[in-house]
Amino acid sequence: MNFFIYLKVRFFFLFGLVILTLSILSITFPFTAKARYSAIIVDSDNGKVLYSRNANTPRYPASLTKMMTLYLAFDALSENKIKLNQKLFVSKRAEGQTPSKIGLRIGEEITVENAILAIISKSANDAATVLAESLAETEILFAKKMTQKAKQLGMKRTNFRNATGLPNRRQKTTARDMSILSRALLDNHKRYYHYFSTKKFNYNGRVYENHNQLLTKYKGTDGIKTGYIKASGFNVAASVERDGKRLIGIIFGGRTAKSRDKHLSKLFDNAFQNSKSKSKINIPRFKPIRRNI
């Protein structure tokens, strides 16, 4: 009998030790389930922050990076350095970009406007590379211009390393910084902002639907961009206008595109309701992505 008691004591001791170890790991391991979640909701007119969670914490932007790629393209268009109907050459590097892409081939040409639409709808990495190489000698030099522009706009915690958002450990931003970029696109490039509301893009006999499902599923949404890499989770920057009031929302670290959009929709709902009632915003709970450790 004493032997069985000994086994029971030993079992519960080992079980408790395992639980304790897992608890410690969950606290100290840098990639916990909540590690990648960030969010911010701002009033587009005055920049007032209506909701913020980890908004200044560095995150991987993924394809939200392309918002700055497009910003510089819009700069060039505004300064008459390029034209919408201008044809751009597709390089070997552009052709070799990993998906998402529209299958551009070396030696082909694509117009500036089609490159913009491909980036916004399909989040095409090949088209983003074509734009970058057309606006600078190399993508590396273009990325430096992206970072310089970010600093000029007040994006203090942002560093770009490429034009696509493909994985690079040094390419970081924050939810707050991406809200600044979103406002800058709205304020400084009103002439071209309408491209972000494109729901479908036809190119070479194929139809590409915009990855931003909020355009069709959340009333008042007219942009801006989604993004995903494994290290970031599902990201989104969105702009919504209702009854003359425009809000910008940024989410980093969604488990899925659907859960990310649902969470952001709730944040927008509460923010719009609060703007009418002037009451405290009720913050919906967000289930962050899970990461295998």
Return the active site residues.
63, 66, 123
d(CA 289, CA 120): 25
Contact 122, 112 (CB under 8 A): no
CA geometry: angle at 233 spanning 74 and 45, to 5°? 45
d(CA 206, CA 153): 36
Contact 186, 193 (CB under 8 A): yes
Crossing angle of helices 139-153/175-188, nearest 10°? Answer: 90
Per the DSSP assignment, residues forming a β-bridge with 288 are: 254
Backbone angles phi, psi at 237, to 5 degrees: -120, 130
Backbone angles phi, psi at 97, to 5 degrees: -65, 145
Pairing of strands 233-242, 245-254: antiparallel
